[in-house]
Amino acid sequence: MKVVLDRRTFLKTAAAGGALLLGIHLPGCREERGASASLPGSVQPVGFTSTFAPNAWLQVNDDGTVVVQVAASEMGQGVMTAIPMLVAEELEADWQRVRVEFAPARAEYANPLMGNQATGGSTAIRGFFQPLREAGAMAREMLVAAAAARWGVAPGSCRADRGEIIHLPSGRRLGFGELASEAARQPLPEQVRLKESGTFRLLGTPVPRMDTPAKVNGSAVFGQDVRVPGMLFASIERCPWFRGKAVRVEVGEALRLPGVVDVQIIDAGVAVLAESTWAAFKGRSALQVQWSPSKLQGLDSGAIRARLQKALDRPKPRRNEGNVDKAFRAADRTIEAEFALPYQAHACMEPMNCTAQVGSGECTVWAPTQAPGRTQQTAARITGLPPDRVRVVTTFLGGGFGRRSEQDFVEEAVELARRTGRPVQVAWSREDDIRHDFYRPASHSRLRAALDAQGRPIAWHQITAGPGLAQGGIDIPYAIPNLRLEQAVVEPGVPVGFWRAVGASNNAFPVECFMDELAAAAGRDPFEFRRDLLADARPRAVLELAAQKAGWGRHLPPGQGRGIALYRSFGSFVAQVAEVSVEGERVRVRRIVCAVDCGVVVNPNTVEAQMESGIVYGLTAALESAITVRDGAVAQSNFHDFPLLRFDAMPQVEVHIVPSGEAPGGIGEPGTPPAAAAVANAIFAATGQRIRALPIRLGA
């Protein structure tokens, strides 16, 4: 594939990267990169006499190492490995000599699909697949040109291979490191040729993750692990109910406790600053705080649910195809069902935290953030500094799932660092984390369908009640001629945010459970019923693969059942077959067979891991936990009342990838949406009981 480079973009990045156009490194750039050198897996590019950095994404050092800037946050999804694979593939680098650094916050590191430097919406590979391969190809061409010039031969007679340039007729070789300084003097190529997918050496292979060694020996630095000389630790007492403010604080014993140095009232609540995390926690528990009342204090889950349900009667139109009313009038029979989903917390294993230092004219923020660009803007706003004086060091993230796109923890750390003049780490307790999240919204759906005399669905009418965030991600791949989607946007006031798969996490459950109900009403097998309604090859292939690998139709003992669900989200198709056993009111998920078509695969091992991960996330929401609201406050607080799926409940999960040359789809989120529906449909197969609310409570 031949790509004409967008010359303006690359000129800009080349100038910012420093090496080529200016012939020198911009010192600020060097410093910023060095700052992340304490992170495992990164190297400090100081001490090299010459380096070659044709764009902001990569640098070839004179020792032959290649350093790739990873502008996406590593929160478990494997970007720290997949991103350099894109560069190394086109660069023809020696993978053993590829190093990575987490990129600083800078405009040129924006993900093209997100429009800023943020990791979310399963966009890391989708957004960077093309530009990072171009970046690698560009550097390759310049290394080839440098070697050809050195040898006095035609560039076309040279080839890059595993970190070397080879002159094909003579067999002469030069390493990338030996060519770095000369490559830096080559003109930027006008266009580059990208490799054909059949010639990939790295892409599509299970390259081991870069971050595994540091994550098994305790050396990986998460936000919580940042240590800065002279730092204070802060714990913030927060109003139990939404939007209350501290109006009166009795510090009491707090300031007399050993290690406690300060108490500060900020927007988020009352912060106790101390020499250790534990002293901050203890100081906090000694506070007596009076909070302002809030209009949201009357909020209650039962009332919210009733409000959502009532809103279903007054929806607004959203999408209309064909003539739904006519189809319903002509129907042989109609089916209707309502589905309810609760609020969900992200519950990242690493509670929210951030460390900040505000000095004269500069600020440093060490943050486990999904959005370093927003982190920079947030710190600039609070300190009054220009954004380029705010250095953001992105650490490893102990889970993200959308929660770490928010900036509340950054605001707190920067504000406290600004006030105290010392580096401050804000350490959230688990209770803070569960009770002060931006929750996946609760939603309520009403679905109606019309079947003709042959049991074929001829109309689909779906109403969704809930916040705007719950209205997205509705995808119905089935050939149903008349379709009406309506929405009743209700914002009860509970803070909501992006949760793994966002709207698809609300809507896959009603859509795919209802499809199962239609199949039953039509007297059809739920797999065949779906398959016969799929006109497109991709979802059909995914559905068929999952069914085939699961042994769909094979006999199961009494008390066991098999359920299927299919959902497209973030550009990928995922089908899952769940096998469950039901004993009394106890559900055990025994096995999940997952098929995925995510387009071209960068790292199959990561795709598998992300499907496993998305499934477990979906199973926790299906079986284990929910957030409820009482008197304007979240009723849950920790893992005893917001339980996660545990090791002993883990089903056997098998992942099968459909080979594909299509554009890459996302993998971080699409595994989650179908899981709850597959399990609910399996419970129906086992017991005849329909599940229309989550979490699943048989007998409730």
Partner 1 sequence: MVTLSVNGRRHDLDIALDTPLLWALRDALGLTGTKYGCGIAQCGACTVHLDGKAVRSCVLPVSAAEGKEVTTIEGLSEKGDHPLQRAWIAEEVPQCGFCQSGQLMAAAALLAQDPAPNEAAIEEAMKGVLCRCGSYQRVRRAIERTLAERARGLA
User: CB of residue 645 vs partner 1: minimum separation in angstroms?
Assistant: 7
User: CB of residue 648 vs partner 1: minimum separation in angstroms?
Assistant: 4
Q: Which of 95, 151, 200, 222 binds partner 1 (CB under 8 A)?
A: 222
User: CB of residue 643 vs partner 1: minimum separation in angstroms?
Assistant: 8
What is the dihedral angle through the alpha carbons of 140, 146, 147, 153, rounded to the nearest 10 degrees?
Answer: 110
HEC profile for 565-633?
Answer: EEEEECCEEEEEEEEEEEECCEEEEEEEEEEEECCCCCCHHHHHHHHHHHHHHHHHHHHHCCECEECCE
Show the binding pattern over residues 223-262: x = contacts partner 1 (CB under 8 A), - = does not: -xx-x-----x------------------------x----
Residue 323 or 638: the one with the smaller Cβ distance to partner 1 is 638
Using CB under 8 A as the binding rule, whether residue 205 contacts partner 1 is answered as no
By CB under 8 A, what part of segment 312-351 binds partner 1? 347-351
Token digits of residue 200: 């990939």
Please say whether the beta carbons of 237 and 289 come within 8 A: yes
C-alpha triplet 209, 214, 220: angle, nearest 5°: 115
Gap between the Cα atoms of 458 and 449, Å rounded: 7
Using CB under 8 A as the binding rule, whether residue 301 contacts partner 1 is answered as no
Neighbours of 636 (CB within 10 A): 21
Q: Which of 112, 115, 169, 213 binds partner 1 (CB under 8 A)?
A: 213
CA-closest candidate to residue 448, choices 334, 317, 313: 334
Show the binding pattern over residues 41-80: x = contacts partner 1 (CB under 8 A), - = does not: ---------------------------------xxxxx--
Token digits of residue 154: 């035609």
User: CB of residue 208 vs partner 1: minimum separation in angstroms?
Assistant: 7
User: CB of residue 237 vs partner 1: minimum separation in angstroms?
Assistant: 15
Residue 208 or 553: the one with the smaller Cβ distance to partner 1 is 208
Using CB under 8 A as the binding rule, whether residue 616 contacts partner 1 is answered as yes
Using CB under 8 A as the binding rule, whether residue 299 contacts partner 1 is answered as no
Q: Which of 400, 441, 510, 664 binds partner 1 (CB under 8 A)?
A: 400
Using CB under 8 A as the binding rule, whether residue 221 contacts partner 1 is answered as yes
CA-closest candidate to residue 570, choices 120, 71, 206, 82: 120
User: CB of residue 618 vs partner 1: minimum separation in angstroms?
Assistant: 9
* Rg of the chain taking only CA atoms, in angstroms: 27
As to burial, measured by CB atoms within 10 angstroms (0-12 exposed, 13-18 middle, 19+ buried), residue 453 is exposed
Gap between the Cα atoms of 369 and 622, Å rounded: 27
User: CB of residue 469 vs partner 1: minimum separation in angstroms?
Assistant: 21
Neighbours of 268 (CB within 10 A): 21
Using CB under 8 A as the binding rule, whether residue 401 contacts partner 1 is answered as yes
CA-closest candidate to residue 75, choices 206, 207, 209, 208: 209
Gap between the Cα atoms of 229 and 235, Å rounded: 19
Gap between the Cα atoms of 200 and 218, Å rounded: 34
Q: Which of 304, 534, 653, 682 binds partner 1 (CB under 8 A)?
A: 653
Q: Which of 44, 264, 323, 638 binds partner 1 (CB under 8 A)?
A: 638
For residue 380, the one-letter residue type is A
Q: Which of 173, 422, 430, 630 binds partner 1 (CB under 8 A)?
A: 430
# binding residues, partner 1 (CB under 8 A):
62
Residue 509 or 642: the one with the smaller Cβ distance to partner 1 is 642
- Segment contacting partner 1 by CB under 8 A, of 118-126, 180-188, 208-216, 579-587: 208-216
Parallel, antiparallel or unpaired: strands 482-489 and 629-630: unpaired
Whether the bond between 695 and the residue before it is cis, its omega within 30 degrees of 0, is: yes
Q: Which of 181, 548, 560, 605 binds partner 1 (CB under 8 A)?
A: 605
Show the binding pattern over residues 560-599: x = contacts partner 1 (CB under 8 A), - = does not: ----------------------------------------
Show the binding pattern over residues 6-35: x = contacts partner 1 (CB under 8 A), - = does not: ------------------------------
Using CB under 8 A as the binding rule, whether residue 200 contacts partner 1 is answered as no
3-class secondary structure, 459: strand
187-223 burial, b if ≥16 CB within 10 A, otherwise e? Answer: ebbeebeebeeeebebbbeebebbbeeeeeeeebbbb
Using CB under 8 A as the binding rule, whether residue 402 contacts partner 1 is answered as no
Q: Which residue has the tokens 């496993």?
A: 612
Residue 418's alpha-carbon distances to 264, 373, 471, 543, 696, in angstroms, are 12, 20, 39, 55, 47
Residue 202 or 520: the one with the smaller Cβ distance to partner 1 is 202
- Which residues are at the interface with partner 1 (CB under 8 A)? 74-78, 208-209, 211-222, 224-225, 227, 233, 258, 276-278, 281, 347-351, 396-401, 427, 429-430, 605, 609, 612-617, 620, 638-640, 644-648, 650, 652-653
